[in-house]
A and B are shown apart, each in its own frame.
Chain A
Amino acid sequence: MSLSANAKTTAKLLTLAVGMLGFALFIMPPLYDAFCEITGLNGKTGGRYEAVPAAVDTERTVKVQFVASHNENMPWEFKPDTVEIRVHPGEAVDTVFHARNPTDRDMIGQAIPSLVPFKAASYFHKTECFCFNQQALAAGESAELGLRFIVDPDLPAGVNTITLSYTLFDVTERIAKQANNKNTDSEREG
């Protein structure tokens, strides 16, 4: 009944509410990313992989297929050089994708990988990939985008085909917006 009892309850409950807001904003997204990385959920592949010397398993052959698509607002032409490669687990393989900016303005693109089956996602290592960076193409310019990957010898038995899909997004405006935000930030500080 006393005011302090109510104040105490309120303080506790408010802390809970603020904590849950923090949980939603700062814990759930990284937790989800970590979860995806561990389970391969949503076909998210890892970042740059440092190649470790490993025996090439010549006994086994895995089909790796490439799919290239672009987001509906993205006018670039984008396709894999080879649609399908047969590889042995453990060997490093190079391939390229072709991209061309047919518009009359300079643009920046970002490719987002996704891989099926999900359980293979953590056994597909990229030592070099154009998807690690944004791709800037001037109007009319075309480029060859390189990818070097290793299929891990520990790839679960039963996985014989891996399909790697890249979706290309137009991030020109996003980059401009970020640059703008940074500028206003530094102006405020200055």
Chain B
Amino acid sequence: MAHGPKPGFTRWLYTTNHKDIGSMYLWFSFAMFLLGGCMALVIRAELFQPGLQIVQPDFFNQMTTMHGLIMVFGAVMPAFVGLANWMVPMMIGAPDMALPRMNNWSFWILPFAFAMLASTLFMEGGAPNFGWTFYAPLSTEYAPPSVTFFIFAIHIMGASSIMGAINIVATILNMRAPGMTLMKMPLFVWTWLITAYLLIAVMPVLAGVVTMMLMDIHFGTSFFSAAGGGDPVLFQHVFWFFGHPEVYIMILPAFGIVSAIIPTFARKPLFGYSSMVYATASIAFLSFIVWAHHMFTVGMPIAGELFFMYATMLIAVPTGVKVFNWVTTMFRGSMTFETPMLFSIAFVILFTLGGFSGLMLAIAPADFQYHDTYFVVAHFHYVLVPGAIFSITAGVYYWLPKWTGNMYNETMGKVHFWMAFVGLNVTFFPMHFVGLAGMPRRIPDYALQFADFNQIASVGAFLFGAAQIVFLFNVIRTVKGGKKATDEVWENPEGLEWSVPSPAPYHTFSTPPVVR
């Protein structure tokens, strides 16, 4: 039954092929990345100068809200699912995902969810304007009417994530080639297995919290309404019970990608493989018991503040294990600096930086000063942009020759890297300073003394945006043609995915490979 893809558009509609679905996820996520990026540029353009120049405050709030939602749920998460679709079966020697039809379904409901979410921009009263964290009662009593569409969009993307996660777990647990024991799996597979469990555990909680909002808004319940005996603080607890594991959902697969790339270009095996696995598992476990560090200022007993403070700081231990392992892998390796490696090294350095500002925020008494300032914005952009986005980019450059059979343009890749690296730091580094100086987040206008740093940040943002156009151009060129890639692509890379021809045939491992 060796046959290729169906011709025509229906190939994409009806496909159950993990490679097709992976590609669709990746393209979809890139489209959402550009859309969310444009919103970020509206924000940065408005903040170029103090005062109101371009947009009104309400629209500004819609932009910050939609930027956050689209980047988290539309760009980062689908990109990781796309990479998992492409790579997990090839890495474990499986012919396809375990549940191919559900795979198709879990992708194809996403465009509808985001079409619905984006359509709220054109509705009466505007799009959701209550921040991506949609705290009640801002998102219930004071919300624009479009909030109902937002709720259903979240329901659909939650269903999509859960189906995707179930599929990945089933694939990893049941479809491994003979001899591929759990502790022989590449780290990308391991991190995704753990991420998938996190998704299955917390996406229903997100669905639950928006359902409670829906009930409060339309059916007269009072989960979050003090007037009816509810409590808005309950919202924050339920939301962050989802929200904190969610931030690890966006970073654990990144750890896996970087753990695949660094050994290849350092030409040394990964240092401390099993400690990496255990560190990932510990981070996942800890993510469930630290949620209230997002709400230190909400009013908590001192015992609570202390517990969440220490538990949060504890996360630095397994994360530090990982960082030291990556550094040790590079130590005395014969390193070369191709584009995927550049992005991975930047990941290690900048993610560590973001981790350190996270430690600062974890100190409960200090957090009262930093809470809701640009320092927080700087922190989470430092962990998400060089963390999630850079690792995805690195992964795309690393595996693109395997997917397309062509080498990408290395010079253009390096140009992309340096533009993105400089742009990112110019954008987000000054935010630390304005944050510490007291500039609150989510404001369209600001006090004059923050003007210089904000101008610098805005310039950096446009540079970072331009870098992504170079990326898009490079990828399209590589898909269309270019220097042929060898089957191995890199010098002695580890993993089953390099044992199949480049480009990877439509069906791989129809007969299971032999794992040493």
Say yes or no: A14-B166 contact (C-beta < 8 A), given A32-B237, A42-B231, A181-B220. Answer: yes
On chain A, the residues within 8 Å of B4 by CB distance are none
Smallest CB–CB gap between B101 and chain A, Å? 12
Q: Can you list, as one digit per residue, whether each of A1-22 has a CB less than 8 Å from chain B (1) or not (0)?
A: 1000110011001101111110
Say yes or no: A110-B241 contact (C-beta < 8 A), given A23-B205, A24-B205. Answer: no
CB-nearest residue of chain A relative to B232? A42
Q: Is A137 on the interface with B (CB-CB < 8 A)?
A: no
Contact for A177 among B208, B220, B227, CB less than 8 A: B220
Contact for B166 among A10, A33, A118, A170, CB less than 8 A: A10
Contact of B170 with A6 in the complex, beta carbons under 8 Å: yes
Q: Can you list, as one digit per residue, whether each of A94-124 has a CB less than 8 Å from chain B (1) or not (0)?
A: 0000000000000000101000001100000
Contact of B231 with A10 in the complex, beta carbons under 8 Å: no
Contact of A167 with B226 in the complex, beta carbons under 8 Å: yes
Q: Is B266 on the interface with A (CB-CB < 8 A)?
A: no
Contact of B227 with A18 in the complex, beta carbons under 8 Å: no
Q: Is B254 on the interface with A (CB-CB < 8 A)?
A: no
Contact of A118 with B204 in the complex, beta carbons under 8 Å: no
On chain A, the residues within 8 Å of B209 by CB distance are 24
Q: Is A178 on the interface with B (CB-CB < 8 A)?
A: yes
Q: What is the bound-complex CA distance between A55 and B313, given in angstroms? A: 48
Contact for B219 among A29, A41, A167, A181, CB less than 8 A: A181
Q: What is the bound-complex CA distance between A24 and B204, given in angstroms? A: 8
Contact of A20 with B201 in the complex, beta carbons under 8 Å: yes
Contact of A29 with B99 in the complex, beta carbons under 8 Å: no
Q: Is A139 on the interface with B (CB-CB < 8 A)?
A: no
Q: What is the bound-complex CA distance between A157 and B424, given in angstroms? A: 55
Contact for B241 among A9, A21, A28, CB less than 8 A: A28
CB-nearest residue of chain B relative to A110? B227
Smallest CB–CB gap between A172 and chain B, Å? 10
Q: What is the bound-complex CA distance between A39 and B302, given in angstroms? A: 12
On chain B, the residues within 8 Å of A28 by CB distance are 205, 208, 234, 237-238, 241
Q: What is the bound-complex CA distance between A169 and B231, given in angstroms? A: 13
A118-147 residues with Cβ-Cβ distance < 8 A to B are 118-119
CB-nearest residue of chain A relative to B237? A32
Say yes or no: A9-B208 contact (C-beta < 8 A), given A24-B238, A181-B220. Answer: no
Contact for A25 among B173, B175, B211, CB less than 8 A: B211
On chain B, the residues within 8 Å of A25 by CB distance are 208, 211-212
Smallest CB–CB gap between B326 and chain A, Å? 31
Q: Is A155 on the interface with B (CB-CB < 8 A)?
A: no
On chain B, the residues within 8 Å of A5 by CB distance are 173-174
Contact of A9 with B98 in the complex, beta carbons under 8 Å: yes
Contact of B238 with A174 in the complex, beta carbons under 8 Å: no
Contact of A17 with B220 in the complex, beta carbons under 8 Å: no
Q: What is the bound-complex CA distance between A14 and B162, given in angstroms? A: 9
On chain B, the residues within 8 Å of A42 by CB distance are 231, 233, 299
Q: Can you list, as one digit per residue, whether each of B88-115 has a CB less than 8 Å from chain A (1) or not (0)?
A: 0000000000110000000000000000
Say yes or no: A16-B201 contact (C-beta < 8 A), given A10-B170, A171-B228. Answer: yes
Contact of A17 with B162 in the complex, beta carbons under 8 Å: yes
Besides A9-B174, A21-B204, A29-B234, 19 more A-B contacts (Cβ < 8 Å) are A1-B175, A5-B174, A6-B99, A9-B170, A13-B169, A23-B205, A24-B209, A24-B241, A25-B208, A28-B237, A28-B241, A29-B230, A41-B299, A41-B301, A112-B227, A169-B226, A171-B228, A174-B220, A174-B227
- List 7 contacting pairs A-B, 8 Å CB cutoff, sorted by A: A9-B169, A16-B201, A20-B201, A23-B208, A24-B207, A36-B231, A41-B301
For the complex of A and B, the 10 pairs showing the least CB-CB separation, nearest first, are A24-B208, A169-B227, A21-B204, A20-B204, A24-B205, A9-B170, A177-B220, A13-B166, A5-B174, A178-B220
